Structure 1
Amino acid sequence: MSVSEADLRPVPVHGTEPGPDPRTMAVLRRERDALRDRVEAGDPSGVGRQHDLGKRTARERLDRLLDEGSFVELGMFRRRREAGPETEGRRPHTDGVVTGAGTIYGRRVFVYAQDFTILGGSLGAEHARKIHRVMDLALDAGAPLVALNDSGGARIQEGVAALDGYGGIFRRQVAASGVIPQISVVLGPCAGGAAYSPALADFTFMVRGTAKMYLTGPDVIAAVSGERVGHDELGGADVHGGRTGVAAVVHDDEDECLEDVRHLVSLLPGNNLEAPPADPPTGAREDVRPRLAEIVPVEPHRPYDMRDVIGELVDGGDFFEVHEGWAPNVLCALARVDGAVVGIVGNQPMVLAGVLDSDASQKAARFVRFCDAFNIPLVTLVDVPGFMPGTAQEHAGVIRHGAKLLYAYCEATVPRVQVIVRKAYGGAYIVMDSRSIGTDLSLAWPCNEVAVMGAEGAVNVVHRRELRAAADPEARRRELVADYRERLMHPYRSPEEGFVDHVIDPVDTRAALADGLALLRDKRRERPRRKHGNVPL
């Protein structure tokens, strides 16, 4: 390449020659502003179609998610590369995804929102690179990442480059797992390989009617197997919220969904090196709750709603429940006790008597591991008759899935408080954060029953021969049950043997939790050095 005389000409010293015409810069600014306005406004026809579908645009969603005026966009003018006739006239700015950072309640988050009005939100190479960059920035900055998914999938015209883009997203998600919170919000289609991204996130939100997530769509299924199935029936919000467990939270509309995402972010630390954001103390350590003595029946087989108990224990009765529709026999929620964020796991006697089964074990295990990764203390409310019996559960792998929950609690190093509300039988007692697997503080109500199994079942096993020989088997059974309860299941048996630290009045439970969490606030326990354990996945 040759150098011209003009290239060698000295740069004029300031003040010796006139600078560039100021109108030139003004023109450039006007052109930039006009382009920015066009990009932000989007294609009117595409925006109209999006609204007709009952969906908001990517920028409208970000406006509702983030604090007003806080969004800083990255890569607004990015476009796909020229690749021949197939890209001619098809190179819109942003390439179908809006990326950047903003704040939620004043706390920094990084975001990307796929724009269905541009190329159907499909993922191509530049689209993926924009997502990769914002993910890298989130990890470097130690801030949560929120992904708003609304995409037709991989951009077929770009071939393997699109697939490579997805791979880069997944690799970064795994690298960020347990380091920064990752929230995925499905607000439209999310098909094919794209569906793995919400599955890798810590929490996935979906909106009924518009969100659809599956690996293979209805048309492919029909062509391969002849099975006819609709989009919602195959992968709608209620399917993933109630049957597969992929969706942690399901909502009826986008605004409600995005507001709930804001609520969740307000409960989470920015990263694994920070404590969760704390509110000022609420006086919980002196708080007496008389209603707690009325909610739970003394009789071990009578149902009640554990949500009512949680509502009495947490600040303002407000808690954020996850996976409400999936495995409802166990509850998982984030809340505050005396201003401090806690994770709550509780059996739900209203559903299947609160037994643990395969799905409930997986649900609770994942939640426990999340809380442990992000320094959120754990409160476990126990009222469990055991694991679900039967061939269906045994063949479904209840042993393996139950071991996941056992593993999660044993591995957790955050402060842990167990409250035995009523009954705690068999292996399920052990798994629900018992003293033997490392809980820091075990409390129990006066109606607690801790045993290998219920009195009736125990008597039927231990005294079966005696009962067969008895003149009046039923009368003898009642006598033996009463004796078993008196000797082995009375409320102070476990405290006497050191398995429970204290028997508390139910009305004092909120205060006892606040005291216990304050006692454990500075707990430090390092895991033994190793590459990683082998979770029974």
Structure 2
Amino acid sequence: MCRVGTAVLSTGEAAPAVPPPTAHERVVALFDAHTRPVEYGRHANAATADVLAPGDGVVVALGVVHGRPTMAISYDGSAAGGTHGATAHAKIERGLRLAQHAGAAVVLFSEGGGFRPSEPPYYAERRDLVHELALLSGRVPLVGVAVASVWDIRALELGVTDMIVGVHGASVALDEPGPGSDAPHVADVGALEREGAVNVGVGSVAEAIAVVRKYLDYFATPRRPLQQAEDPQVAEELARLIPDNPRRAVDGRRLTDLVADPDSVLRLSERFGGSVQTSLARVGGRALGLVASHSMVKAGALDSDASDKLARFIRLCDSFQLPMVYLTDVPGILAGPAAEHSAINRHSARPYFAQVHARISQLTVAVRRAYGQGMVIMGLGQHSPGQTLTLVWPSAEFGGMGLAGAAAITANSTTSAQATGGRSEQVLYQDLVSHGSALPVAQRFRADDVIEPGDTRARLLAAVELLPVADASRRSHIPLDPW
């Protein structure tokens, strides 16, 4: 039995709910234990004497997360009705300038919003927080956490962060709450997850802090020793992953978990553009981006949402020099009137464009279907300068579309009857298989090796070990697209 806001004792009596962490407690929980953060403006008062808001409703502190300098900005939604004061504005601006100077990650715990009407129009000055955050984009990791109802300027701030974690029950809106309303008239975190506006939804602030710490760890420590010996059961499960029935789906999330180090995966935007799953993870202790086709959604075909999601993930990895691994089982780009009306031609060009300009290493494993333009976008094109390794499973098939479908269309087309010499559908299919299956593709040097599925992790471990760790001080600045 579970009730929001109560705890049930073994006697059946409801105990008082544990209150969520305060703005200061969030900051303490975020930073590494036994470190001494520096807080800015702890005793600062609001600009007007009649407003009672300790620290003017925000905690700004520089500390350490996984050994890396991190600037935490934590709003207090209970202070002065959650309004945004001039002193708080100045504190945050100082914190963001220091973050840029120190190369510190920024974590924004957000609730409340709305400029305080009793104070001067400081928001019209050049000291604009959204502007400062946008300047930091791609230079340092930026993480936003919606802990309760967020609106106005604080919603805008969240919008330019790299990743948004949302606590279920929170909401994000540009409009302020109406009279007598406890929340803005907008979708909550669950709805925002489905629309791609929240990258990870969690049940509590404590869970949000754990996600933020895990996220920052990929950037703070690019390489760690592999903590656990290889598990032969992983190889066995990889060997059984492809079903005998080609119409059955393959769970890209499970494939990701098997390839990655145990407990190292953080899925981003899992519920948005679900035909492709994007995750930060570690392979052999190396932090990287993992992209997996997920045929449980739209058979794995890339639609507009999945294309946008993939493009932004490529940009994230490229900004912070994380290598990428593609696990490909894609039937192509989603076709049909609905897809065309969603401007699929434009959206599907976004990941291609990002790959052309990316400087990171890219490794690809073709596990089953690799068809059409979807194959190109899912790591099997020749346009990415960082293509480091291409492996294929024996079950992989390559072609402009599904081989059986292509054979049927060709055999039954009056325009192609002469060109095919009247060959039967079965003969045409065998010709396509002989040309588009794994070994012939490798023989034409369109892949580096054909491997058994159970060997996938071992081969990736060996390849990733050879990749250099990028020098953050020498990388170019690549800001992230907010969408």
Taking structure 2 as the reference length, the TM-score comes to: 0.86
Q: 1:112 maps to which residue? A: 73
Q: 1:7 maps to which residue? A: none
Contact 2:113 2:153 in 1 (8 A): no
Q: 1:512 aligns with which of 448, 459, 469?
A: 459
Report the more deviating stretch, 256-265 or 454-463. Answer: 454-463
Q: Distance in 2 between matches of 1:383 and 1:409?
A: 18
Q: 1:239 aligns with which of 165, 170, 191?
A: 191
- Secondary structure of 1:521's aligned partner: coil
Count, aligned residues: 458
Q: 1:143 aligns with which of 97, 104, 115?
A: 104
Contact 1:418 1:434 in 2 (8 A): yes
Q: Distance in 1 between matches of 2:245 and 2:468?
A: 35
- Secondary structure of 2:306's aligned partner: helix
Give 1:3-402 correspondences, 5 Å limit: 55-70=20-35, 71-81=37-47, 87-90=48-51, 92-158=53-119, 160-162=121-123, 164=125, 168-209=128-169, 211-216=170-175, 219=178, 231=183, 234-243=186-195, 245-269=196-220, 276-282=221-227, 289-402=235-348
Structure with more helix by fraction: 1
Distance 1:93 1:217, change over 3 A: closer
- Secondary structure of 1:436's aligned partner: coil
Q: 1:482 aligns with which of 430, 447, 450?
A: 430
1:463 matches 2:411? yes
| Residue identity opposite 1:496 in structure 2 | Q
Q: 2:6 maps to which residue? A: none
What stretches of structure 2 of length at least 5 have no aligned partner? Answer: 1-15
Q: 1:502 aligns with which of 438, 449, 452?
A: 449
Contact 1:327 1:360 in 2 (8 A): yes
Contact 1:205 1:257 in 2 (8 A): yes
Deviation per CA, 1:297-338, whole angstroms, max 9, x where unpaired?
A: 254322121222222211125311111121111111111111
Q: Distance in 1 between matches of 2:441 and 2:135?
A: 43
Report the more deviating stretch, 138-147 or 281-290. Answer: 281-290
Contact 2:69 2:102 in 1 (8 A): no
Contact 2:312 2:481 in 1 (8 A): no
- Secondary structure of 2:128's aligned partner: helix
Q: Distance in 1 between matches of 2:302 and 2:185?
A: 27
Between the aligned residues of both structures, percent identity stands at 30
Q: Distance in 1 between matches of 2:282 and 2:51?
A: 50
Deviation per CA, 1:470-497, whole angstroms, max 9, x where unpaired?
A: 9xxxx943443333323x3222232122
Deviation per CA, 1:17-50, whole angstroms, max 9, x where unpaired?
A: xxxxxxxxxxxxxxxxxxxxxxxxxxxxxxxxxx
1:412 matches 2:358? yes
| Residue identity opposite 2:458 in structure 1 | A
Structure with more strand by fraction: 2
Distance 1:299 1:523, change over 3 A: farther
Q: CA RMSD in A?
A: 3.2
Q: How many angstroms does 1:159 deviate by?
A: 5.4
Q: 2:9 maps to which residue? A: none
Distance 1:466 1:400, change over 3 A: closer
Q: How many angstroms does 1:52 deviate by?
A: 8.2
